[in-house]
Structure 1
Amino acid sequence: MYCLAVDSGNSFLKWAFFKNGRKLELNRVSNRELHNLYSDWRLLRQPDTIVVSHVSGHDVQNQLAQLFNMWNIQPNWIKALPRQCGVINNYTDPAQLGSDRWAALIAAWNKFRDACLVVNIGTAQTIDVLSSEGVFLGGMIVPGPYTLKKSIQYATQISLENDNYCFQIFPTNTTDAIYSGIIQALVGSIERTMRLFQQCQGYSIKHCVISGGGHAELLPHIDLKYIVIENLVLEGLLLIAQNKERY
């Protein structure tokens, strides 16, 4: 089976082309340059299936729909389900869970089959919790590193764009204070979620899975065991496309 998996995020689109589960191509493009996909995709063999996680706006979705028209195939724009690929969705309205978060949870569960903290660091930072039974217990969304930097700049006119700052435990100038505060807040939300899980569930999470384009800034400051899995959403999309209902 040839599968085109597309992770359409708020700022970037990532895609992978698989043959029988083996990755043949992998790339990403800014949402401002989606037109460049045509030259890449027209070189691909026609996929048997196209599976898409889309969390960006309607304009991006319309552009993608036009690009998919180069093949005579209907894309699968996934939505979170009450249960799929071994994961049980505990959201009050399961369909409201972002498709990217759902695909990432499916990928993490099918890799570890154990309690997981699934963290994706991009335009937003999502922190989602899987129980040892494969139940998505819930999660949180906070602004990611880049978004927080731009927000501070907009609110205070203090720029963090010239690399004139660094992380300090006790910062002694304003730009270091802002940047260090951003790092501490984002890392703190991850570590606090880990502690609260143990308090509420009575056992520890063994696996913290981190993905997303903004993770590099946070990793040196995370004081817990973690594993980085690039393109976690794409891996989950492949599982969904393969329809491996493994309970």
Structure 2
Amino acid sequence: MQLDVGNSSAKWRLVRDGEVLVRGVYQPEDAQARDRLLSCCEQLQGIWVASVACEEAECQLATLLQQRWHVLPWFARSEAATAGLVNSYVQPMHMGVDRWLAMLGAWRRSPGRLCVVDAGSALTIDLVGMGGNHEGGYIIPGTSLMERALLMDTDRVRFAEEAAYDLAPGTSTAEAVRHGIALAQAAAVTLALQQAGEPPPRLYLCGGGAELLQRLLGGQGECLPDLVFEGLEAMAVEHGLAPPQA
């Protein structure tokens, strides 16, 4: 079993011989989601976890999984170097492991100049050079965080109607907010690619907002929803772990 754990929920998938058998979303406070996770199979050979949750949440999850399957979960952590990818952080552990694994998954697919964008609660943009060196990155509030900041910190930015994320100038408050957020997200990626220089990096997109972002970018890049999982597999292999089987 493989899990990609965020701050409020976790994506999981069950893998056998390289094939994804079943997948789902787990939220600690959702009894049905917990039951679906714990009833997905009778036995497991391994559990691999990529987590950006707090230590307490990680301990609770590890206890839940270990009690159910009697298997000690392995938690991936950002490293100074993995499989030819070199971290730019002086303290590599301070990099969110989801960023590191997304880069690693992209690097395993296509070693070379890369731009890896994870569109989730935050929008992260990371650049990788031809030789595998992380050239640096950006962390920007995602769409929901941007909207929440406007609604919380302004008195007159309020709306009840629905509006899609688009790049055209908005003709209502709802459109102005949603289109402004869309513009900021797409512009951040566009400018990061421009700043990257030559040769232009290959663009990979992952995260819950990847498809929306790709549309806003005019179809640029390749959407890979399981990129963090792919990086998790690559790191596990480097650590000599056997593939987790159902």
TM-score range, shorter chain: 0.7 to 0.9
Q: Is residue 2:190 matched to residue 1:191?
A: yes
- Once residues 35 and 62 of structure 1 are traced to their aligned partners in structure 2, the CA distance between those partners, rounded to angstroms, is 21
Distance 1:31 1:216, change over 3 A: farther
Offset at 1:137?
A: 1.4
- Once residues 108 and 34 of structure 1 are traced to their aligned partners in structure 2, the CA distance between those partners, rounded to angstroms, is 34
Offset at 1:20?
A: 2.8
Offset at 1:86?
A: 2.2
- Once residues 10 and 16 of structure 1 are traced to their aligned partners in structure 2, the CA distance between those partners, rounded to angstroms, is 18
Match of 1:78 in 2: 76
Matches within 5 A, 1:83-122: 83-122=81-120
Aligned-pair Cα RMSD in Å = 2.2
Question: TM-score scaled to structure 1, two decimals?
Answer: 0.87
Match of 1:48 in 2: 45
Offset at 1:203?
A: 1.9
Maintained 8 Å contact 2:117/2:203: yes
- Once residues 32 and 200 of structure 2 are traced to their aligned partners in structure 1, the CA distance between those partners, rounded to angstroms, is 46
Match of 1:239 in 2: 234
* 1:76-119 CA-partner distances (Å, limit 9, x unpaired): 11111111122111112111111111111110000011211100
Maintained 8 Å contact 1:168/1:176: no
Maintained 8 Å contact 1:117/1:209: yes
Match of 2:64 in 1: 67
- Once residues 44 and 237 of structure 2 are traced to their aligned partners in structure 1, the CA distance between those partners, rounded to angstroms, is 13
Distance 1:145 1:74, change over 3 A: same
Distance 1:31 1:134, change over 3 A: farther
- Percent identity reads 25
Match of 1:173 in 2: 172
Distance 1:223 1:68, change over 3 A: same
Maintained 8 Å contact 2:167/2:216: no
Offset at 1:73?
A: 2.1
Matches within 5 A, 1:210-229: 210-223=205-218, 225-229=220-224
- Once residues 31 and 102 of structure 2 are traced to their aligned partners in structure 1, the CA distance between those partners, rounded to angstroms, is 23
- Once residues 224 and 138 of structure 1 are traced to their aligned partners in structure 2, the CA distance between those partners, rounded to angstroms, is 24
Q: Is residue 2:225 matched to residue 1:230?
A: yes
Offset at 1:11?
A: 3.1
Question: TM-score scaled to structure 2, two decimals?
Answer: 0.87
Q: Structure 2 unaligned runs (5+)?
A: 241-246
- Once residues 84 and 156 of structure 1 are traced to their aligned partners in structure 2, the CA distance between those partners, rounded to angstroms, is 44
- Once residues 53 and 161 of structure 2 are traced to their aligned partners in structure 1, the CA distance between those partners, rounded to angstroms, is 28
Q: Structure 1 unaligned runs (5+)?
A: none
- Once residues 166 and 121 of structure 1 are traced to their aligned partners in structure 2, the CA distance between those partners, rounded to angstroms, is 14
Q: 4+ residue stretches of structure 1 with deviation over 6 A?
A: none
